[in-house]
Structure formats: C-alpha cells, structure tokens
Amino acid sequence: MKKKLLIIFSIIVVIFVITITCILINNNKENTEQPQVAKNSNIREKERIIPINENLDEEQIYMNLESSGSFLTDMSDNTTIANDAEWIIIGTVESIEGMTNYNPTTENYVMARTVGTIKVNKVIKGNLNEDKISFIRLGGVVPLGEYIKSQPQAHLEKMGLNNLSQEDKENKYVKETMAGDIEIEENKTYLMYIAYSDYYDRYSIEYLQYGLREVEESLTSTNQNLLNANLKILNNEAYTTIRVKNNTNGEYETLDSIIPKSVIKNTN
C-alpha cells in the first residue's frame, strides 16, 4: 500500500513539474515574441523641463557647484572611450530646450542636466538612422527652489538653505557642473560620444569634456562640404581632415589622431 501511494505521489510530482515547465516555456515564448517597446513611450510625457532664463545674470547665481568623481573608464584616453562608446557622431546643436533635474523614470530629483535637439551630420561609430535626436547632458542651471528638491534636509540645513524666502527660491539659481567640463552651446557643431538613456528617452552625451569636442569653426569650404554632405558615412578624406578641439590644451586635432580606424563604421 505504501509503495502504491509512493508511486502515485511520484506521478503527481512529475505531472506538476511538467505543467510548470510548460507554463514557463509558454510565458517565455510570449515575452520574446512581443514587439519591442518604442523609445518614445510615456517617459517624455513625465519630463519636467525648466525653460532657459534668457535674462539671467551672474548676480542671480546663488551657488556655482562643481562636482568631481571617480570613473571606471579612463575618459582621458582617446582609444579607450572610442572603443567603449555606443555611438560616435558629429552633430550640430539645433536647440537647447532647457534644463531638468528630475528623472521621470525613478521620479527622483537629481543633478541638473541640459536637454535639447541635435542634427546628426556624420555617424562615425554605430548604427543611427535618425536625422535628428533628442539629447541630455550632465550639467546645467536650475532655480534654487528646484535644486533644493534634490537635496536631503540635513544638507539644506548645513548649507543654510532651509529658511530661504519664496522670492529667492524663484529668482536665484544654482549652476551645477562637473570639474573640468565644458558647456554645450546652441548652433555649434561637435564630435559627440553618445549612448541611449532609458531613464530619459534621450541620447546622453557621455564622457564629460572628452565626449563633447567642438569641430573647428575656421573650416575651409572643402571641409565644410565634407561635414555637410548628405552622406552620413565618414569618408577617408573627412577622417583625416576634420579637426576637433582638445578641451584640455585648447588645440585642434584631426579625427584620425584620436579615433582608431578600427572602430569607424565605414570609410572610403
């Protein structure tokens, strides 16, 4: 009798395991067959963009905060970041929409960031079909009241920011940057190292001052034609001719001196 019960119990266990396995396989199949979620989900609808104050003067800057940190990647090494980057492009900043210090995915307040739109001129590394992309970059200027939202109460008390008037919160500003970094400017063309950010549904410009390098303004007409050509692929002439600014020493360097040819999407 005990042997019979043991056999029956074993059969039930086997059936249960098979049933669970089938369910898991079916669920996995459903998940893999589902279409990918579009980049423009509802994240952008939750953004909190602060318009740029065109009349802002230095006297309104209540604090100028410069942060520093340690990073796993040696950002000063051209070869390292070229290999590490998801995309490398040359793009023109068509517009700066404003600033934000709110992460719409985590719903937390964070360090200030700049957002806007970039026209893609050349795709040096990676596959990027868009003619224009929305970007986000660390660093920006936000009203004092918005900055306060990102700080713990103990820090506010230590900094004497817990008893400010509403007028100060609205009319005073905080500038947040990373040490040694540069400001991104509208209508300028840059070499950019970018990665897609799920948090913001925007392309993030990476590697601080090493991932945003201004293209030389005094380009000859030949170089300008290379830059503005409809073909987004970087040809060999552009690779050896176009120069970008070294933000450390202020000198201009050709692309072939900073980006290994092995990482380039295509040259001809």
The number of domains in the chain is 1
185 belongs to a structural domain:
yes
Task: Give the residue-averaged pLDDT of 2-17.
Answer: 36
| Residue 204: domain span | 44-215
266 belongs to a structural domain:
no
Model-level pTM?
0.81
Per-residue pLDDT band for 261 (boundaries 50, 70, 90) equals: very high
pLDDT at 93: 97
Mean confidence (pLDDT) of the chain: 83
More reliable by pLDDT, 205 or 6: 205
**Structure token digits, residue 192:** 């950019």
Task: Give the residue-averaged pLDDT of 126-132.
Answer: 94
Per-residue pLDDT band for 230 (boundaries 50, 70, 90) equals: low
The winner for highest mean pLDDT among 19-33, 105-119, 209-223, 225-239 is 105-119
Of 153, 56, 135, 55, nearest in space to 93 by CA: 135
Q: Is the pLDDT of residue 217 over 90?
A: no
pLDDT digits (tens, 9 = 90+) for 71-116: 888 899 999 999 999 999 999 999 999 999 999 999 999 999 999 9
Q: Is the pLDDT of residue 144 over 90?
A: yes
251 belongs to a structural domain:
no
Q: Is the pLDDT of residue 29 over 50?
A: no
143 belongs to a structural domain:
yes
Task: Give the residue-averaged pLDDT of 121-129.
Answer: 94
Beta-carbon contacts of residue 216 (< 8 Å; ≥ 6 apart): 223, 242, 243, 244, 245, 252
Quote the distance between the C-alpha of residue 39 and its chain's center: 14
Q: Is the pLDDT of residue 234 over 90?
A: no
76 belongs to a structural domain:
yes
**Structure token digits, residue 139:** 């660093």
15 belongs to a structural domain:
no
Residue 47 burial by Cβ neighbours in a 10 Å radius (0-12, 13-18, 19+): middle
CA geometry: angle 251, 208, 48, nearest 5 deg: 135
12 belongs to a structural domain:
no
Beta-carbon contacts of residue 151 (< 8 Å; ≥ 6 apart): 159, 161
The Cα–Cα gap between 152 and 166 comes to 19
